[in-house]
């Protein structure tokens, strides 16, 4: 039996002082994902692949298209954070129609989710990190809602200068507090900001995107990184928690809710290009899916199953409408230097 994480944190803070937001988020999410299936009506949230098969099918079309134009090489399909395996199942089904039947490699640490993935994608191989994926063949990599769960570092402007934002305990509750060590040198660029301003950086996300880029440069291939985030620099904490399909206090029950932050896609693109990958482009999820033909696919599904036409159209709107997932979620394409452009950018 695992000791409740809030007790672990309270003991740690009592002995050593406040812990960083990054440590809090990393350990809370590691505990959360290792102990449950968070997806679906009985879980805490629903991702795009669970909304409709159309999402995974469009990704399968994208992969098959760029693979064909690259000369139909032997490739590996790699997915980081594959959830229950729903996206991979739908994408691989479409790829197979075009003659693409790659080896499947999942980056997953949760034993609960690995079991679900094995049921949907027999023959998949699992790894604990991107660096464990075998070398020697081009990859088609997909990371959907993977970067947002990686820990961020938060810096806050105080009258004494920039300080790291930490988690302490006050009146029995976990609360964010400013650290005591000067952190002005860690501010990524000059910011003339009022006191209380918070900026976020994610070394973990940058490292992951850099690793993907190095894999592409070394072995060839292409990648799609899909997440909710932003392109223009912004300030403020984006840390949020979701539990039971509703927003929750991220400091209320560590390890019992999904903690995420918005992804800085400009920083991710910079990490990729510095590592030598080619940036194919970044687009809103709605625009990208429409460019791939999701509206035509929705029409075909509705005609084939008239009783489910309303559900199909509702799913289409949820995935693509500007006031739903269409603009909040971004799609970034990367490729090896010698690989062709990707559709939709």
* Mean pLDDT on 206-225: 98
pLDDT band at 189 (very low <50, low <70, confident <90, very high): low
Domains belonging to the chain, first-starting first, are 31-151+202-234+258-335 (3.40.50.12710)
pLDDT band at 214 (very low <50, low <70, confident <90, very high): very high
pLDDT of 114-154, one tens digit each? Answer: 999 999 999 999 999 999 999 999 999 999 999 999 999 99
pLDDT of 7-17, one tens digit each? Answer: 999 999 999 99
pLDDT band at 290 (very low <50, low <70, confident <90, very high): very high
pLDDT of 241-270, one tens digit each? Answer: 999 889 999 999 999 999 999 999 999 999
pLDDT at 282: 97
* Mean pLDDT on 45-69: 96
pLDDT at 1: 59
pLDDT at 84: 94
pLDDT at 17: 96
pLDDT at 184: 82
pLDDT at 39: 83
- Report the chain's C-alpha Rg in angstroms: 21
- Is beta strand 240-243 parallel, antiparallel or unpaired with respect to 139-144? unpaired
pLDDT at 190: 61
Indicate the average pLDDT of the chain. Answer: 94
Could you tell me the two tokens for 52?
A: 């409709």
Percentage of residues of the chain with pLDDT beyond 70: 99
pLDDT at 3: 80
Reply yes or no on whether the pLDDT at 40 is more than 80: no
Q: Which residue has the tokens 């984006």?
A: 238
- Is beta strand 139-144 parallel, antiparallel or unpaired with respect to 153-158? unpaired
Reply yes or no on whether the pLDDT at 291 is more than 70: yes
What is the distance in angstroms between the CA of the first residue and the CA of the last residue of the chain?
A: 48
Yes or no: say if 235 and 193 are a contact pair by the CB < 8 Å rule: yes
pLDDT of 170-185, one tens digit each? Answer: 999 999 999 999 888 8
Reply yes or no on whether the pLDDT at 281 is more than 80: yes
pLDDT at 200: 94
Cα diameter, the chain:
65
Reply yes or no on whether the pLDDT at 100 is more than 80: yes
* Mean pLDDT on 30-56: 88
Which among 334, 318, 182, 226 is positioned nearest to 273, based on CA atoms? Answer: 334
* Mean pLDDT on 99-116: 95
Reply yes or no on whether the pLDDT at 223 is more than 80: yes
pLDDT at 129: 95
Judged on CB neighbours under 10 Å (0-12, 13-18, 19+), 135 is: exposed
Instruction: Count Cα neighbours of 76 within 13 Å in the Cβ-side half-sphere.
Output: 23
Reply yes or no on whether the pLDDT at 211 is more than 80: yes
Reply yes or no on whether the pLDDT at 328 is more than 80: yes
Report the distance separating Cα 166 and Cα 19, nearest Å.
5
Could you tell me the two tokens for 284?
A: 């809103």
pLDDT of 306-322, one tens digit each? Answer: 999 999 999 999 999 99
Could you tell me the two tokens for 79?
A: 């997915």
Q: Considering the entire predicted model, what is its pTM?
A: 0.93
């Amino acid at each position: 039996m695992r000791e409740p994480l809030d007790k672990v944190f309270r003991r740690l803070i009592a002995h050593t002082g406040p812990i960083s937001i990054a440590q809090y988020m990393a350990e809370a999410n590691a505990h959360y994902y290792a102990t449950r299936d968070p997806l679906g009506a009985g879980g805490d949230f629903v991702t795009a692949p669970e909304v409709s098969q159309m999402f995974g099918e469009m990704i399968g079309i994208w992969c098959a298209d760029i693979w064909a134009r690259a000369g139909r090489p032997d490739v590996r399909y790699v997915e980081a954070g594959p959830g229950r395996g729903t996206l991979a199942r739908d994408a691989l089904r479409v790829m197979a129609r075009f003659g693409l039947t790659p080896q499947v490699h999942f980056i997953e640490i949760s034993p609960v989710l690995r079991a679900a993935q094995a049921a949907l994608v027999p023959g998949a191989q699992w790894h604990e990190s991107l660096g464990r994926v075998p070398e020697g063949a081009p990859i088609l990599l997909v990371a959907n809602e993977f970067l947002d769960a990686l820990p961020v570092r938060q810096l806050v402007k105080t009258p004494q200068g920039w300080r790291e934002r930490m988690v302490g305990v006050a009146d029995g509750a976990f609360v964010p507090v400013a650290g005591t060590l000067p952190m002005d040198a860690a501010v990524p660029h000059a910011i003339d900001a009022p006191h209380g301003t918070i900026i976020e950086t994610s070394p973990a996300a940058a490292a992951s995107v850099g690793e993907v880029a190095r894999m592409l440069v070394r072995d060839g291939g292409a990648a799609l990184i899909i997440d909710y985030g932003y392109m223009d620099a912004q300030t403020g904490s984006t840390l949020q928690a979701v539990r039971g399909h509703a927003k929750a206090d991220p400091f209320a029950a560590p390890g019992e809710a999904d903690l995420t932050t918005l992804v800085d896609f400009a920083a991710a693109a910079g990490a990729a290009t510095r590592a030598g990958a080619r940036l194919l482009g970044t687009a809103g999820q709605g625009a990208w899916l429409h460019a791939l033909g999701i509206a035509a696919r929705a029409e075909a599904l509705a005609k084939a199953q008239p009783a489910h036409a309303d559900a199909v159209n509702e799913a289409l709107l949820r995935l693509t409408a500007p006031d739903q997932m269409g603009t909040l979620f971004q799609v970034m394409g990367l490729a090896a230097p010698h690989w062709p452009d990707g559709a939709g950018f």
